[in-house]
Structure 1
Amino acid sequence: MPKNIREVLNTVPPFSLLPEAVLGSLEKDIAEKTYPKGSYVFRQGEEGLNTLFLIIRGSAEVVAKNDMDDEAVLGFRGVEEFFGETGLNGGQYSAGVRAKEDLTCLLIPGLEVEKLMGRHSDFTGYLAEVLVERMRSLYDEIIHEQSFDAYSKVEVPLFRKRISDIMSTPVITCGIADTVVEVAGIMEKKNISAVMVVNDQNSPIGVISNADLVNKILARSVTGFLKLTAGELMNKKVVTIPSEAFYAEAVLAISKHRTKQLAVIRRGRLAGIVTVADLVKARSTGTLTLVHDIESQQDIEGLSSIGVEVDSLLNALVAEKAPVPEILMIISEFHERLTRKVIQLCEEEMVSRGFGGPPVEYCWANMGSAGRQEQTSRTDQDNMIIFRDEDSIGNDKIREYFLKLAILVNEGLDRCGFAKCPGNVMASNLQWCRSLGEWEQTARQWIESAKDPVLLRQLTILLDFRAVYGEKRLADTLWKKIVKLYCQSAAVSHYLAQDDLSARVPVNIWGGFSTEKSGPHKDEINLKTAASVHIVNCLRIFSLKSGIADTNTFIRLSELRKRGGMKNDEADFVEAAYETLMMFRIRENLKKVKRGDKADNYINPSLLGKQEREILKGAFTGVSRLQKLTGSTYTLLWLAK
């Protein structure tokens, strides 16, 4: 082992990442202390010592008592590892540390650590990675220890099952040069309804179904069909999925691409096939029948009961411990499919009432949590319409039609459990039903006048819109215009940052939770408005400034990583924090719905277990760091004048 403090600092990261001059100065403030085997460095619940402990000899146990006052070992720390980070900012220790054997540590003052984090990015990045890893470890432990029987009865964690465990193999295939007669013979002999077409490398390049044989040969009276080859007849749209993917990913792919089978790939080659039937057989609740149920409904009344089935799917996903991003994407896909069916039925209703079909191309878009594909429960509607400019008809005349349609759709969605927006941010409101040209002018006005709090609020809502039905090209064109206007503006990012930073995460100066002091939610915290919204707001600012038009928070974060808009260590910390917050929100809301209460995103920290409080504090720390980063990047003093 190194003989002195300086040698330790030179060899142990993150201190080894610091310049020699900095280490020389830091060395003077560090003390060394030995703790006998079995003794506590500090105990759970004690006030933080504002000290970072770096082990140079021996090892330690991280211990905590559960709600039954039983002490358990949560982890171990060995030579060249540090602990005590939760006590750097004051507050009480959420877990204790005990010497597993004679333990010698370097005691580094928290004030010095804080200075180093403010001046040396490599040092900060390393610490952040360690903290993220520990937070994720706690998160995983909580997830796997939770009993979700209170929400749903599920026999196995199916959504964590690999596709390789479900797929059918070997796959019946044909070659690209095989004739139609040969393909039909294969299907008849094997008693199958579709055959996969592969190339010489056994990679799937197409699929031929019974429907293809009927529609492309018999229905069209193709002459000389005996000479047709599989390559000429096949449907080239093959949806693939890797063999290591999870069941949840297959459910999403089947629903999103509206296909009946997935080609399973391993190292670029066809390894198996998964059909809708395979997925339904694998799970007793028949989740995938939802797709058929939605598409087969002929009226709003029939659709209204399906929303409850989607809620049951959410229960199952949580019970089966599906990752938060997958839960959000799957539930959003079904909600969007439900929305599309409502719009289709309302278009038919417009025709039956004598108003005819849409006079021009249009796009229906969601905003808010639905626009970000982060809607779990059926929350209030936030939607808009973009329609094509047509001088020969006139925008006012066109708008008259779409406002009538929007009233029907908003009513239909309300009957399906998506309540009307109290603020009237809906396509049936003139303000949210505009032509593409009008929307471009409006976006320019809102961006250039972002100093106005009312317009800033409207802009914030708009900046999460996502096309769900109709001509997506209209939405894409509007997004390109918005991103261009946004990047040209010198002030809009700063106004948006200023607006978010007007509120901070609910943590007091002692490191404890700052809850509501009175009213119906006394001693509670709203995880949406007090915490997760800050991540949404800040990442929206960073993403738009980087030219990213995606709206989902996880995707925005991923794109920022790729484009260098945010350092990996910062992005990892934020991602872990957001996933944690969403996990708590989903879980607590499900509990309330089961009790017959409203899902309101409130949580009482005092009712959480000790580990849960620790991970929630870690998530709040991630939010606070993101806000500080946003503030240092996007706030200018002259804007306040």
Structure 2
Amino acid sequence: MGLINTLRETEPFNELPEEIFTELNQVAETKTFPAQTHIFHQHSDPTGFLYVIKSGLVEIVAQTPGGVEMIVDYRKAGAFFGGTPIFTDEGYSAGARAAKESVCYLIPGKLLTKISENYPHITEFFNKAIYSRVRNLYSDMVNHHAENTLTQMEAYPFKKRLSEIMSTKTVTCTAETSIREIARKMIERGISSALVCDKKNKLTGIITEHDLVAKVLARESSDCETSSAATVMTPKPHTMAPETFMYEAATFMIGHKIKHMPILDQDEIVGIVTLQDLMKFRSQKSMLLIGNISKARTVEDLISARVELVKVARALLSENRSHIETMEIISYIHHRIIQRCHDIVLAEMKRQGHEQPEIKFCFIIMGSGGRKEMLLGPDQDNGFIYEDFPDEKKEEVDAFFVPFADKLVAALARIGYPRCDGDVMVNNPLWRGRLKDWQERISDWIRVPEAQKVRYSSIFLDFMPIVGEASLCHDLREIVFAEIKKHPIFLYHMMELDFKHKVPLSLIGRFSLEKEPKHKGKLSIKQAGSIFIVDCVRMFLLEKQVEATTTTERIDQLVKLKVFNLETADHIKAAFEAFTFLRLRNEIELTDQGKFPTHYLDPYALTKNEQDLLKEAFRVASKLQDSTKRHFSKIVS
């Protein structure tokens, strides 16, 4: 088969016009490779050609850490190989060897790169191939891990049914009930959802605390008196029967990101189960962990609960499912501990005779906590937002909130949340203030984007309410969006700072390890990997003036906004999930050894498959960096 006919029938070249086929045919070389001849090795310098097989059979071979070559794929006539260095600026991901005498067309990479400028689907095709390796490697590794650890899981009550753990204390209402009335009932009964029913008492919808905040409180146009359940509810919610096994409900709810599940017996409402209910039974050793947090009366009680968290993490890690969801559950528990710590310290302040000023305030959490991406060793990143009270009230506010902040930071440190090295904590005056103080501060960071101010921003911009008046957070978010809209060049400076750091891979695909004594021979999965995905995704979202909490939710939003296509988004998620899995497993192992959990690990202690996964995830992060740089460089061009 001739080169032109081969390319006409081969994706991604089959969409090119005839004149391009003619040009490729004119410059392509033909070369014969005898049987068992290496066309190139995995760590060879790139030859600068894409190889298209005219006849024969080519083996794709990868090296193990011990230097042994393994055949991982075969390519037949009409297939191609060797494109990774041309389209990704990376070395070969594997070598190529002629299994029998093979004749190949050699197409110059420079010409392909030039053609791809007018036909970008070619580059996208090869990028997709790289990304797909990440997803496949990750799936294989997680499946292998699940097989090896399932038998080591803490006892899990698989035979427990929802009827044994569900709450029969439900609030019901009609579609016409006012939002204020629903909220009042939920507060009186101490529950976080209400079920909407028709005249025959059949379930038609559900309203949760999140619905009230997102659809009513966060919208200036909403009125609690005139808004009804029908305008806020989620219609036709998922339901389960009381005889459903607990593990089935847990898998379904986590997979569908559902926190409340109505329980129906032949269309009759008999109860409700929440994600928190299920978490209480995750492990017999850590049973009722979240319940214990809510009942804690002292900091010492929370220290005990914090220690138990690793047991929940270990059980969750052993399940064959999304580790992003595992991270969200861990973050949920951290948030409950931090909230309870706040309440305990506040009560102590009042017992000591401190009088709390009559102002609205919000205790915020930033960084990974603000993205719900905490693992086992998060430090503190927190602050206070106050409403805009008059200047003459400042002395009274400081008299209470300054010692409160000091006590709160100290208590969290005792529980197991280290003080932030950068002093991004509520006991630092820079991280508390009125809305107008925050506006002045943010405006300065964005208008005069010095390196330290940009670093502060990268932590601060992932803020969320943890306790207090959540509407202050919404107001602060609007301030951020307005300032960035006025000064979009700030995003360029964020990108510049991020781009000063690179993924720890050499040109030949070897890991670049730390040389400093503290972490010598290791690398940071967070600082050298996942943080690049977090930062780049955040920049795109800020540019679009859209709000989303977790990195994966942000990626989904960027797909809706057509910033990413579905394939690219899936592979970025796969890389992010791979970083999360490897980091969480490492943190659990360190905790079991009596060490503080950290994001540093020795990559050469991983299996070959895990090393390949980590390298591919790093490459995805690097490519996202490159795309981000190209995009935001346009601001100053």
Both proteins in one fold, TM over 0.5: yes
Paired residue type of 2:588:
L
| Alpha-carbon distance between aligned partners in 2 of 1:236 and 1:401, rounded to the nearest angstrom | 40
Aligned length, in residue pairs: 586
Contact 1:29 1:109 (8 Å CA) reproduced: yes
Paired residue type of 1:365:
I
CA RMSD in angstroms comes to: 4.5
| Alpha-carbon distance between aligned partners in 1 of 2:249 and 2:82, rounded to the nearest angstrom | 37
| Match for residue 462 of structure 1 among 460, 463, 467 | 460
Task: Give secondary structure in 2 for the equivalent of 1:523.
Answer: coil
Contact 2:173 2:194 (8 Å CA) reproduced: no
Partner residue in 1 for 2:438: 439
Partner residue in 2 for 1:483: 481
| Alpha-carbon distance between aligned partners in 1 of 2:457 and 2:233, rounded to the nearest angstrom | 41
- Kindly report which structure 2 residues correspond to 1:550-589, keeping only aligned pairs within 5 A, or say none: 550-589=548-587
Partner residue in 2 for 1:370: 369
Distance 1:487-1:638 versus aligned 2 partners, 3 A rule = closer
| Alpha-carbon distance between aligned partners in 2 of 1:381 and 1:100, rounded to the nearest angstrom | 57
How far apart are 1:396 and its partner, in Å?
4.0
| Alpha-carbon distance between aligned partners in 2 of 1:380 and 1:406, rounded to the nearest angstrom | 16
How far apart are 1:362 and its partner, in Å?
0.9
How far apart are 1:149 and its partner, in Å?
6.2
Contact 1:48 1:86 (8 Å CA) reproduced: no
Partner residue in 1 for 2:416: 417
Partner residue in 2 for 1:328: 327
Task: Give secondary structure in 2 for the equivalent of 1:467.
Answer: strand
1:607 is the counterpart of 2:614: no
Distance 1:90-1:464 versus aligned 2 partners, 3 A rule = closer
Paired residue type of 1:317:
L
| Match for residue 618 of structure 2 among 617, 620, 641 | 620
| Alpha-carbon distance between aligned partners in 2 of 1:274 and 1:488, rounded to the nearest angstrom | 46
Task: Give secondary structure in 2 for the equivalent of 1:305.
Answer: helix
How far apart are 1:501 and its partner, in Å?
1.5
Partner residue in 2 for 1:187: none
CA deviations on 1:342-368 (whole Å, 9 max, x unpaired) are 111122112111113452111111112
Distance 1:327-1:427 versus aligned 2 partners, 3 A rule = same
Contact 1:206 1:238 (8 Å CA) reproduced: yes
Partner residue in 1 for 2:284: 285
How far apart are 1:427 and its partner, in Å?
0.8
Please identify, of 330-339 and 495-504, the stretch whose mean Cα deviation from structure 2 is larger: 495-504
Paired residue type of 2:14:
S
Alignment gaps of 5+ in structure 1: 178-193, 208-230
Distance 1:305-1:405 versus aligned 2 partners, 3 A rule = same
Task: Give secondary structure in 2 for the equivalent of 1:550.
Answer: coil
How far apart are 1:56 and its partner, in Å?
6.5
Partner residue in 2 for 1:8: 6
Paired residue type of 1:250:
M
Contact 1:33 1:106 (8 Å CA) reproduced: yes
| Alpha-carbon distance between aligned partners in 2 of 1:350 and 1:151, rounded to the nearest angstrom | 46
Contact 1:168 1:273 (8 Å CA) reproduced: no
| Alpha-carbon distance between aligned partners in 2 of 1:373 and 1:572, rounded to the nearest angstrom | 20
| Alpha-carbon distance between aligned partners in 2 of 1:521 and 1:415, rounded to the nearest angstrom | 25
How far apart are 1:493 and its partner, in Å?
1.1
Contact 1:18 1:123 (8 Å CA) reproduced: no
CA deviations on 1:338-391 (whole Å, 9 max, x unpaired) are 111111112211211111345211111111211222110132101010011222
| Match for residue 495 of structure 2 among 474, 494, 497 | 497
How far apart are 1:547 and its partner, in Å?
0.4
- Kindly report which structure 2 residues correspond to 1:153-172, keeping only aligned pairs within 5 A, or say none: 153-154=152-153
CA deviations on 1:598-633 (whole Å, 9 max, x unpaired) are 333223333333332322222222122222222222
How far apart are 1:76 and its partner, in Å?
5.7
How far apart are 1:246 and its partner, in Å?
6.8
CA deviations on 1:557-591 (whole Å, 9 max, x unpaired) are 21111112334444334323222222222223333
Task: Give secondary structure in 2 for the equivalent of 1:475.
Answer: helix
CA deviations on 1:119-166 (whole Å, 9 max, x unpaired) are 5322222222222222210111122223786899317999xx9x9x97
Partner residue in 1 for 2:182: none
CA deviations on 1:389-414 (whole Å, 9 max, x unpaired) are 22286234223322222222212211
Distance 1:540-1:40 versus aligned 2 partners, 3 A rule = same
Partner residue in 1 for 2:594: 596
How far apart are 1:239 and its partner, in Å?
11
Q: TM-score, normalised by structure 1?
A: 0.78
Distance 1:205-1:521 versus aligned 2 partners, 3 A rule = closer
CA deviations on 1:496-531 (whole Å, 9 max, x unpaired) are 111111222223333333223453433332222223
Distance 1:470-1:602 versus aligned 2 partners, 3 A rule = same
How far apart are 1:273 and its partner, in Å?
6.6
| Alpha-carbon distance between aligned partners in 1 of 2:201 and 2:604, rounded to the nearest angstrom | 59
| Alpha-carbon distance between aligned partners in 2 of 1:86 and 1:419, rounded to the nearest angstrom | 43
| Match for residue 473 of structure 1 among 471, 478, 481 | 471
Partner residue in 1 for 2:250: 247
Paired residue type of 1:566:
F
- Kindly report which structure 2 residues correspond to 1:239-318, keeping only aligned pairs within 5 A, or say none: 240-241=237-238, 247=250, 250=253, 262-263=262-263, 274=273, 279=278, 283-285=282-284, 289-318=288-317
Paired residue type of 1:528:
K
How far apart are 1:334 and its partner, in Å?
0.7
Please identify, of 597-606 and 3-12, the stretch whose mean Cα deviation from structure 2 is larger: 597-606
Contact 2:239 2:262 (8 Å CA) reproduced: no
| Alpha-carbon distance between aligned partners in 1 of 2:592 and 2:376, rounded to the nearest angstrom | 13
Distance 1:245-1:58 versus aligned 2 partners, 3 A rule = farther
CA deviations on 1:209-233 (whole Å, 9 max, x unpaired) are xxxxxxxxxxxxxxxxxxxxxx99x
Distance 1:375-1:521 versus aligned 2 partners, 3 A rule = same
Contact 1:60 1:78 (8 Å CA) reproduced: yes
Partner residue in 1 for 2:214: none
Please identify, of 438-447 and 318-327, the stretch whose mean Cα deviation from structure 2 is larger: 318-327
Please identify, of 62-71 and 362-371, the stretch whose mean Cα deviation from structure 2 is larger: 62-71
| Alpha-carbon distance between aligned partners in 2 of 1:398 and 1:175, rounded to the nearest angstrom | 41
| Alpha-carbon distance between aligned partners in 2 of 1:75 and 1:61, rounded to the nearest angstrom | 6
Contact 1:62 1:96 (8 Å CA) reproduced: yes
Please identify, of 544-553 and 512-521, the stretch whose mean Cα deviation from structure 2 is larger: 512-521
Partner residue in 2 for 1:352: 351
Distance 1:151-1:459 versus aligned 2 partners, 3 A rule = farther
Please identify, of 55-64 and 336-345, the stretch whose mean Cα deviation from structure 2 is larger: 55-64
Contact 1:294 1:338 (8 Å CA) reproduced: yes
Alignment gaps of 5+ in structure 2: 175-192, 208-227, 241-246
Contact 1:252 1:333 (8 Å CA) reproduced: no
Contact 2:50 2:80 (8 Å CA) reproduced: yes
Contact 1:55 1:104 (8 Å CA) reproduced: yes
Contact 1:399 1:434 (8 Å CA) reproduced: no
Please identify, of 106-115 and 369-378, the stretch whose mean Cα deviation from structure 2 is larger: 106-115
Task: Give secondary structure in 1 for the equivalent of 2:517.
Answer: coil
Contact 1:249 1:326 (8 Å CA) reproduced: no
| Alpha-carbon distance between aligned partners in 2 of 1:455 and 1:26, rounded to the nearest angstrom | 51
Please identify, of 557-566 and 466-475, the stretch whose mean Cα deviation from structure 2 is larger: 557-566
Paired residue type of 2:508:
W
Q: TM-score, normalised by structure 2?
A: 0.78
| Alpha-carbon distance between aligned partners in 1 of 2:304 and 2:372, rounded to the nearest angstrom | 22
| Alpha-carbon distance between aligned partners in 1 of 2:328 and 2:423, rounded to the nearest angstrom | 26
| Alpha-carbon distance between aligned partners in 2 of 1:300 and 1:16, rounded to the nearest angstrom | 66
Contact 1:51 1:110 (8 Å CA) reproduced: yes
Task: Give secondary structure in 1 for the equivalent of 2:519.
Answer: coil
Task: Give secondary structure in 2 for the equivalent of 1:394.
Answer: helix
How far apart are 1:554 and its partner, in Å?
1.7
Task: Give secondary structure in 2 for the equivalent of 1:578.
Answer: helix
| Alpha-carbon distance between aligned partners in 2 of 1:331 and 1:127, rounded to the nearest angstrom | 36
Partner residue in 2 for 1:528: 526
